[in-house]
Amino acid sequence: MSTNTYVDFVSDAHFLSCVKQLHESYAKAKKKLSKKKFYANKIDVFKLTFDKEFNGLTEEELIKLEIARQIDKSVNNAIGAFHENILDGITGFEKGTLAGFDIRALDNSLFADVKNKHNTMNSSSAESLFQKLARYADDYKSATCYWVQVLSTDSFDVQWFSIINGKEYSHTRVRKISGDRFYALLANDEQALFKVFDALKKAIPDYLNSIKATDVLDNDILKDITSDAKSNNRRLLDQITFDNFKYYLGFKSL
């Protein structure tokens, strides 16, 4: 019987190391997001105004949400890497580095490309992915090759047949599979993905407590904007608007 604290198909040390790597990705994204970069693409101050009033947010909450949204752009790939790292800890499988696959079975019976969401590819990238998986299937005659959609619109494990850019694509051993089914396949446990989700409720606090971490969204941007707003006797939202659009007609008067 497993004595693991988190899940029974990877070790506690491995599970916590995956949480650690993801936390470091958040921290790195937060550190890189200076006020200059925060303003770089211009803040939609009209949307922020609507968000504040229609969603009943304080200005501080509003800015934190915008910071989180911008950080989110940087960490999306890291979320996909989190799943690859977890799966790498299952006996008999490993993640790829520069080999062209994300996950493979050590006996070459399985190769997989892992996408965090089902809708992250256009037709050209879908065509390229199918061709890559088909090459693995042709090179390794016992291999089944998967396009994994961790977050998808259904639970499935089906042959990937598609018409892409006007061409029909199919291969008997190229499949597409939802995240729950792929976790179940590798861990031999139908509840595997749910167990990972459920374990995070304990593993994340355990990890953060072990390093005495502060809120990953606590950075100097809000402090800087707050300081500027106080110095100029402006509301926070007015300060952001001035910083972004002081060269627009009328906005200098804020």
pLDDT (mean) for 49-68: 93
Q: CA-CA distance, 180 to 109, in Å (whole number)? A: 20
Any bridge partners for residue 167, and if so which?
A: 164
At residue 225, the pLDDT reads 93
User: How far from 192 is each of 61, 135, 151, 163, 229, CA to CA, in Å?
Assistant: 35, 29, 14, 32, 49
Sequential DSSP letters for 33-59: --HHHHHTT---HHHHHHHHHHTT--H
Instruction: Inform me whether the pLDDT recorded for 212 exceeds 80.
Output: no
pTM of the model: 0.84
At residue 217, the pLDDT reads 47
In this predicted model, what pLDDT tens digit does every residue of 165-188 receive, in sequence order? 888 989 999 999 999 999 999 999
pLDDT (mean) for 180-209: 96
Q: CA-CA distance, 68 to 62, in Å (whole number)? A: 10
- Residue at token pair 């402090």: 223
56 vs 220, which has greater pLDDT? 56
- The two beta strands, 93-95 and 157-159, are unpaired
